[in-house]
Amino acid sequence: MKAKNTIPRNRFLPEGISLLRQLNAKALPTTLNLGLGKPEEDMPVVLRPLMQVALSESSLEYTENAGDLKTREALSGRFKLNGAASLLLTHGAQEGLMAALLATLNHGDEVLLPDPGFLAYAPMVRMLGAKPVSYTLKLVQNAYHHDLTLIKSKITSRTRAIILSSPGNPTGCDLEEAEFSALLKLIKTKKMIILSDEVYGMLHFKKPYFPLATLSDRVISVNSFSKSHALTGWRIGFVATCDQALARSCLVAHQYIATCASVPAQRFLEQLLKSPLFESVAMDYKSRYQNKLSLFREHSSPKLREKTPLVSGGFYLFPKLPKKQSSVQFCEELLRKENVLAVPGVAFGKNGEGSIRLSLALPDEQVIKAAQVLSKYY
């Protein structure tokens, strides 16, 4: 007989199978899959020769923990950061986020999170022994916005960080400069930082990307090249902050999590930063995704169009359901009857209930089909 309770376990560890994964497991190969949180294609074909150059002769042994100095200098220059010391190359944004949280949080601390928001935030905060406290994103004039009054009311003496994400996943919410300034003013008198998840930042339809960390030393910016350059499997991203103590804390956490970022990925990024392709690939994806979202709207019924909030960037739409009903039930029915997979909004937080997330990083004909099928319900 095996007593399972003799195996130690972090009691804040989430269960392994998320709602998203459960649904994905039911999908068939023929399913029109709007559930994937990733770019349309495997790495861009135009980048393959660059990869060969990057790896053919370079050293592939450990770099320093923070990452190769030249690459960090190049990134710092491009993004107007405070030199190489304000940057840390990470194993994607995921590891960057974990390093930043591990570096700053103590047991019992509180972290403010967007609801609806990226589904990893709350479990990550929880498994470090801290407490996720969600702030609702508000629909105003058919787009999701930050409600500063609400956010202010959620700050307690235990609050240590607020996670911002703009353009947000799944809402496509934006954070305007005035809002950011007001938020900064709000937290300046507190023992708090802003953790800015910028993975869709280079896919913002109206604003050129810059790390929010360039605006204040109370900000840690986390980003990767997974979405902007379709380099998901390369796991390369960065953590940037202009506060020296904070940068050092993140570096310490990072070194014990990862030693250093993948060196092949660092070498590849080094070449990419020198190439005009760095700019053009991201630009191409941005306009491509913007066109796909427009295409979806064009082929939507008037009611679906009305129910679909406007987004500031990225490749997701987050429509409200046609009537008050469970998003899980709606998605199960959609999969069963139409062989179309969408993600129940409730997976992104309590406030996501009543909506569904559609990932439109797909070929145009699939985008059109998605609009047509969904329109039947609206």
Looking only at residues 292 through 321 of this chain, which bind a copy of itself when binding is defined by CB under 8 A?
none
Span near a copy of itself by CB under 8 A; candidates 48-56, 77-85, 271-279, 292-300: 48-56
Find, among 225, 181, 219, the residue nearest to 203 by Cα.
Answer: 225
With CB under 8 A as the contact rule, the residue among 55, 155, 182, 368 that binds a copy of itself is 55
Find, among 168, 184, 160, the residue nearest to 119 by Cα.
Answer: 168
**Are the C-beta atoms of 256 and 104 separated by less than 8 Å?**
no
Span near a copy of itself by CB under 8 A; candidates 52-60, 75-83, 144-152, 326-334: 52-60
Q: Per CB under 8 A, does 256 bind a copy of itself? A: yes
Task: Give the residue with the Cβ less far from a copy of itself, 42 or 333.
Answer: 42
Task: Give the residue with the Cβ less far from a copy of itself, 76 or 249.
Answer: 249
Q: Per CB under 8 A, does 252 bind a copy of itself? A: yes
With CB under 8 A as the contact rule, the residue among 86, 214, 262, 271 that binds a copy of itself is 262
Task: Give the residue with the Cβ less far from a copy of itself, 58 or 372.
Answer: 58
Number of residues that bind a copy of itself (CB under 8 A): 77
How far, in Å, CA of 321 to CA of 327, rounded?
8
SS3 state of residue 134: strand
Q: What is the DSSP string of 349-364?
A: -GGGTTBEEEE--S-H
Bond before 167 cis per omega within 30 degrees: yes
Residues 128-167 that bind a copy of itself (CB under 8 A): 128-129, 160-161
Count the Cβ atoms, other than its own, within 10 Å of residue 306: 13
Find, among 103, 271, 107, 111, the residue nearest to 187 by Cα.
Answer: 111
- The CA R_g of the chain, rounded to the nearest whole Å, is 21
With CB under 8 A as the contact rule, the residue among 70, 248, 288, 299 that binds a copy of itself is 248
Q: Per CB under 8 A, does 104 bind a copy of itself? A: yes
Q: Per CB under 8 A, does 82 bind a copy of itself? A: no
Q: Per CB under 8 A, does 354 bind a copy of itself? A: no
Q: Which residue has the tokens 């950061």?
A: 81
Minimum distance of a copy of itself from residue 101's CB (angstroms): 9
With CB under 8 A as the contact rule, the residue among 127, 143, 186, 215 that binds a copy of itself is 127
Residues 176-205 that bind a copy of itself (CB under 8 A): 190-193
How far, in Å, CA of 311 to CA of 173, rounded?
6
Span near a copy of itself by CB under 8 A; candidates 74-82, 262-270, 300-308, 309-317: 262-270
Q: Per CB under 8 A, does 365 bind a copy of itself? A: no
Residues 4-43 that bind a copy of itself (CB under 8 A): 4-16, 38-39, 42-43
Cα dihedral 344→347→353→354 (10° resolution): -20
Minimum distance of a copy of itself from residue 129's CB (angstroms): 5
With CB under 8 A as the contact rule, the residue among 259, 294, 325, 329 that binds a copy of itself is 259
How far, in Å, CA of 118 to CA of 377, rounded?
26
Length, in residues, of the chain: 378
Minimum distance of a copy of itself from residue 219's CB (angstroms): 11
Give how far Cα 37 sits from Cα of 42, 51, 76, 168, Å. Answer: 13, 24, 28, 12
**Are the C-beta atoms of 58 and 252 separated by less than 8 Å?**
no
How far, in Å, CA of 114 to CA of 137, rounded?
6
Minimum distance of a copy of itself from residue 51's CB (angstroms): 7
Q: Which parts of the chain are beta strand (E)?
A: 32-33, 87-90, 110-115, 131-136, 138-140, 143-145, 159-165, 193-197, 219-224, 237-240, 316-317, 340-341, 343-344, 356-359
Q: Per CB under 8 A, does 102 bind a copy of itself? A: yes
Task: Give the residue with the Cβ less far from a copy of itself, 134 or 355.
Answer: 134
Task: Give the residue with the Cβ less far from a copy of itself, 224 or 355.
Answer: 224
With CB under 8 A as the contact rule, the residue among 72, 204, 235, 307 that binds a copy of itself is 235
Task: Give the residue with the Cβ less far from a copy of itself, 92 or 116.
Answer: 92
Task: Give the residue with the Cβ less far from a copy of itself, 236 or 371.
Answer: 236
**Residue 334 in tokens:** 């959609």
Count the Cβ atoms, other than its own, within 10 Å of residue 208: 7
**Residue 187 in tokens:** 């937290």
